[in-house]
Structure 1
Amino acid sequence: MTSTPALITLPAGASVNEVVEIIERDGGVVLEKFLDAAAFLELKTEIDAALATSAFGDTDDFVGTDTLRASRLFARCRRMVDVVLHPLYLGAARKILQKPIEVWFGEKRTPIIPLVQIGMTQAIQICPGQGLQPLHRDDTSFLWRHPHYGREARVQIMVAMTDFTAANGATRVIPGSHKWDDERCPQQAESIPAEMTAGSALIFIGSTYHGGGTNNTDRPRIGVTMAIDLGTVRQEENQYLSVPYKTLKELPTEVQKLLGWDAGENFMGWYESGGKMHNPFDYLAAENIPQALGLVESSD
């Protein structure tokens, strides 16, 4: 009888290379003290406020009838910037996803590095009594096949806003399942809880089987998840509608681009104006973007 591999936990001072090495081997890794105390407390306050406006699911085992969910987090939570720009998360995502691919342009062999983008955000509160979520792969959103494509499409994070324990519904993960083909069915007996303290984080890839656990305690388990995806797939959450223009303009340049306001070497995301193809960030940097995109009428 073979035992299920354990999830490795790394200290806050780990290197990007260490994080990537373990993720590519095991499918995921836990990072201790991912957020410092000040950032964590502010994010927790913002997340609590977002969840307070949410409602329980209906009869869907996947969404959860005793689970609250809130998205549009870059519109609601200033501290989401700390999560996406964290050097270990963004650094690992870039290293895993931005592997160059060589293509022919005529007789010239050219390497292209794909963009990455924020695909989705969600706060998840698993309340007492919630049962197991079905095990799944998050790259199912893209109908990704395994191992056909030979590359990952998503690097996901789950930041613990409360302690994650086996008893309160910690995310369950099957280490090594990112190497399975699509014919193998995941079993709950193969999964283990990603136990971690509040402020720590689980980073895993889209091909790793996982799911929310059962909450057998009298208190909710709260986590914040976000995905960084290849720029060649559609964003799961429509960030152009989720983040108001005024809020978008106040975000750091790198976050604006990660939210989709960028265009890649493979011509994804451009915008035509004046007969030329432009990077949408050029319009975002200008003050006339609402008029340029036809969002409001020009006063001319």
Structure 2
Amino acid sequence: MTVPPPKDLSETAPSSTLSNVELSVDGAIKTARIINPIKDERSLKPSVADLTVSEPVTADKISEKLEIYGGAIVKNFLSHEITDKIWSDISPHFKKRTWNGDFFPQQTTRVTSIVTKSKTVCEEYMCHPLYMEVAARFVGKKNTFIIGQDLTTAYSEPQHNSSTTLSIGPGATNQPFHRDDIIHHNIRKYREKYEYGYETAIACCLAHNKTTKANGATRFIPGSHLWDHQRIPQEDEVVYAEMEKGDAFFMLASCFHGGSANTTKDEYRNQSFLFMTQGHLRPEENIFIETPMEYFETLSVQALKSIGLAASQPYCGWFRDLEDPLHVVKPETLTGDDQFENTFKIVE
């Protein structure tokens, strides 16, 4: 048997976008032109007050803002005490790193995988009841499946996608506009109004100090979650997510956004970003390799589910012989009626 030489398998993969793009190279300059762009001139210009959820804050109110704008601000999402506790847990992990790209300015420092560095992040932030309910609406998945002669219903709850604390220092420049759902190759279609079921991730951003346009507040483009995949964002469409300490900015990953320039002399914009994704998708950040089992054992059952250390129904993310890894970390969760528990019985 003759084995053919290796080839670039990417050339065999289908594309949902490249068929509408013309690529060209002129010397060192590479350009791309959209062949048949969709005409869409919708531009929303809400104020920060328009984005802010009124009291009493509910998941319904947050969801309504997200449907319309793709973003929502919640005042006093976490108390100053909890916000400061998260900062004290995370800040010792800041290290000066050299970033050779242009996606993050040199003046931006960051700590990644903060769910593994602070139990407070897990229990008080990630598992906040409002965030859990909103995330369930946008990235939770519930479906029915035929298995043999039975109709089985399964719910895949949201899981941790990535968690980072960012500090933007004086002199930082604008971050390029981007959508965070590009990691899941999520292809956005032009829509007149929001439709549930197509979102792959949702973010919650916690302000550790006063966040302003001057010190680097997130540049967010309201309504861009309804745009076609290939519409290009412009600076004049921006709203700055300005917040006070303890406030939170909810944002769909399908929205264009980016950190903004810090034009101050001595202020830092300190914020913690926590993304949740669908339970059956690969998370952006791999938090399991470096995290000792002992840390996971200290977390609550809900935190373990949200962090992604539990099987997603019906059978995604199992361990060994179709065991739910949650039962390995927390044996007391074995109930006798779990679909994984009775699949295999190990005979001694």
State the TM-score bracket (shorter-chain normalisation): 0.7 to 0.9
Identity %: 28
Where does residue 340 of structure 2 map in the other structure?
Answer: none
The Cα shift of 1:73 comes to: 1.1
Tell me, what secondary structure is at the counterpart of 1:240? coil
2:301 pairs, out of 253, 265, 269, with 253
Would you say the 8 A contact 1:11–1:33 is kept in 2? no
Residue 281 of structure 1 aligns with an amino acid whose one-letter code is L
| 100-109 vs 238-247, greater mean Cα deviation | 100-109
Aligned-pair RMSD on alpha carbons?
2.2
| Alignment partner of 1:94 is 2:136 | yes
Would you say the 8 A contact 2:310–2:317 is kept in 1? yes
Tell me, what secondary structure is at the counterpart of 1:125? strand
Would you say the 8 A contact 1:74–1:243 is kept in 2? no
Tell me, what secondary structure is at the counterpart of 1:10? coil
The Cα shift of 1:46 comes to: 1.8
2:164 pairs, out of 111, 117, 122, with 122
| Alignment partner of 1:143 is 2:143 | no
Where does residue 5 of structure 1 map in the other structure?
Answer: 46
Tell me, what secondary structure is at the counterpart of 1:227? strand
The Cα shift of 1:107 comes to: 6.7
Would you say the 8 A contact 1:117–1:257 is kept in 2? yes
Aligned positions of 1:126-205 closer than 5 A: 126-147=168-189, 150-205=197-252
The Cα shift of 1:110 comes to: 5.0
The Cα shift of 1:231 comes to: 0.9
| 98-107 vs 4-13, greater mean Cα deviation | 98-107
Please give the alpha-carbon distance, in whole angstroms, between the structure 2 residues aligned to 1:180 and 1:142: 17
Residue-pair matches, total? 282
Tell me, what secondary structure is at the counterpart of 2:125? helix
Aligned positions of 1:47-62 closer than 5 A: 47-51=90-94, 54-62=95-103
Residue 160 of structure 1 aligns with an amino acid whose one-letter code is A
Please give the alpha-carbon distance, in whole angstroms, between the structure 1 residues aligned to 2:244 and 2:164: 19
5+ residue gaps, structure 1, are 288-300
TM-aligned CA distance change 1:236 to 1:107, over 3 Å? same
Using the size of structure 2 for normalisation, the TM-score is 0.76
**Larger Cα Rg: Structure 1 or Structure 2?**
2
Using the size of structure 1 for normalisation, the TM-score is 0.87
Residue 259 of structure 2 aligns with an amino acid whose one-letter code is G
TM-aligned CA distance change 1:251 to 1:259, over 3 Å? same
The Cα shift of 1:139 comes to: 0.7
TM-aligned CA distance change 1:212 to 1:259, over 3 Å? same
The Cα shift of 1:104 comes to: 4.3
5+ residue gaps, structure 2, are 1-40, 191-195, 333-348
The Cα shift of 1:106 comes to: 5.6
